[in-house]
Structure 1
């Protein structure tokens, strides 16, 4: 079941989205050589507590995970791409770090992710990260009333193909609003003109994530961290987007961003 949000409800999600964007901006600034992932996790906990928000990840226990997540941000390094469990790891020069954050404020959720390169960037890593950002921008543009869900998915898949990256469809974007995961599922590959009709009031988390090598994934022994099966590097970009009569509105963009 898809719950259409009113303009007032979308504004409440925008409030949450602004906070998510602010936290990710702080984490981006803090992610440097010599910083421990646990320091980033604990800083996120403090920010969420001080704002009076609630983490959507704390005690998150879906069927694919091993027990409750018990952390507030997903931190995935290098070949890890999704659901990275914060652990005792010190960032090194050239690491690729994806940070995924979802919180709720006054009962309304927003979800976003960014990927940063720590220290000295390798050209191939820059290309990978920029490809996910390009795919996200294209997906947002396709998120318009009258389009179909497949138009979003096909747009993401086309960007991946243009850059020579395969696409894994086991995990993708999703609806959200009162909870972190609502209908519909938004695959990162699809056929244009197919699927659900996009309507004003729908709110979606769009999240292209690409792997430089094989599109196959494996799960870490921790039961959460998802990695590329061949050890190649990964990147992940995500925004929460509302569909309005006038087109897409990004709810997790900093006010200083274009």
Structure 2
């Protein structure tokens, strides 16, 4: 299983779109791993998780990846930094005459309903096949199997994290972006489930924000401790926000004693 990090930033990006606080200025000065587009991953070249407002920028940034070739798109939830649904209008033959076959779009029933309301505004209907997901029910997605896990992120919407399973070599990846601390039903599902890797959001960093829809660094350390990780299984942090008050190098320094790695745009993980 190959995982490519298309973006590792939070909703406003890092440096942020409209903020010039000292940490944003310093991130811009340092560049490199401190420059983060909005979050999303590409799995085995054909499965994409979330479609952010930076989707076109990612096509341009990673010319070595054929991001036009995705066959499956999984939505975690409908916040704008993950659900740039109107970009799907450019799938139609008027804009992509060379594309073959429909794109399978997976998400909660609520997310797919919102997608359909967006399609009504398109120039022409895009070639998409909508597939509704149910919590904790594994489904085949291309050559992999995916289980939607219930995240604790929005109070008015069912939000998903995803467990990817490659049956061929029995590897499992947990992708936990925009999750917050899990409710007990999700922890119960993951109990004693061996994982080969986990990607966990750290939207709050070391800030004192009371928002429960993202994790602090301290919570990420506790989150890792509750997972049934195989020996040597890596844990990466993503969805890094400038309001978390840590640049890449600072966050990695704090994470290293706990065996946690900080993801960055363009990182590739092979399982």
TM-score by length of 1: 0.29
Q: Could you say which structure has the larger radius of gyration?
A: 2
Higher RCO, 1 vs 2 (CA within 8 Å, ≥6 residues apart): 1
